[in-house]
Amino acid sequence: MKFYDPERLKTAPLSSIPFAMYQLEEDDKDILLNYCKQLQNEPTRRSVAADVPHNSEELYIATADITNTIGCYVMPSMKDIAGQIPPNYRWGIRDTYLQCKKKGEFVPPFSSGYSDFSFACIVNVPFDVEEEMAMPHCKDTSNPSASKFQLIYPSPLSKVSFQDFVFSKSDEGMIIVYPSAVNAQVFPFATTDEDQYIVWGSVVAQEGTL
């Protein structure tokens, strides 16, 4: 497991929140991408697009293969992020979804407040970030947002803080783990018709064995 060095960890200066970024090894990234494509083409896949506020045309319940591949990275990170939990409690993953994000799709702010932590895995980046930023709606703005992943949370001054992540092709397989009370949103991309795969999920600590 490759843990990003502290310079890649993002926290706001006034309202730091415990979260981290991990990146899948190359072999695991390829395996996960294959699992995502298999699920997208599986006739018996279960859509939850109408039930989850992702504003996505294609959103499916993730398979065990997808969940377990990401879980191998997420679960060991919980001790680093959340610290020690009581010995009679266990971390477990639940509610894992595969989003097949289309050109022009915007994921509006949402949170998973019923769990302890959330994660998002950027499985692939089918576009070139520089091309996205050069689009007319971005190049003449002071804060271009094409394809941006953003966390939104209040600061101690009762203002809203934003933390931005812009992922390039070298960041494929990136996993962001963050508190579930924090809102996340993802801006659209516009330069390719290829789908971007994002796996969303929640982590919860419960008493006993999950």
In sequence order, the β-bridge partners of residue 176 are 21, 120
Query: Which pLDDT does position 161 carry in this prediction?
Result: 79
Please tell me the distance from the alpha carbon of residue 109 to that of residue 51, in angstroms, as a whole number: 15
The token pair at 113 is: 């407040």
Do the Cβ atoms of 128 and 169 come closer than 8 Å? yes
For 123-208, list the strands marked E by DSSP.
Answer: 149-154, 160-165, 174-179, 183-186, 196-207
Query: Which pLDDT does position 197 carry in this prediction?
Result: 98
pTM: 0.87
Query: Which pLDDT does position 173 carry in this prediction?
Result: 96
Q: Break the chain into its structural domains and give their ranges.
A: 18-207
Query: Which pLDDT does position 156 carry in this prediction?
Result: 66
Query: Which pLDDT does position 6 carry in this prediction?
Result: 39
In sequence order, the β-bridge partners of residue 162 are 152
Taking each continuous run of H as one helix and of E as one strand, the counts in the chain are: 4, 11
Exposed/middle/buried for residue 64 (C-beta within 10 Å: 0-12, 13-18, 19+)? exposed
Query: Which pLDDT does position 126 carry in this prediction?
Result: 95
- The CATH number, out of the four listed (3.40.190.170, 2.40.30.10, 3.40.50.1820, 2.60.120.620), of the domain defined by the range 18-207: 2.60.120.620
- Which residue numbers in the chain have pLDDT < 70? 1-18, 113, 155-158, 209-210
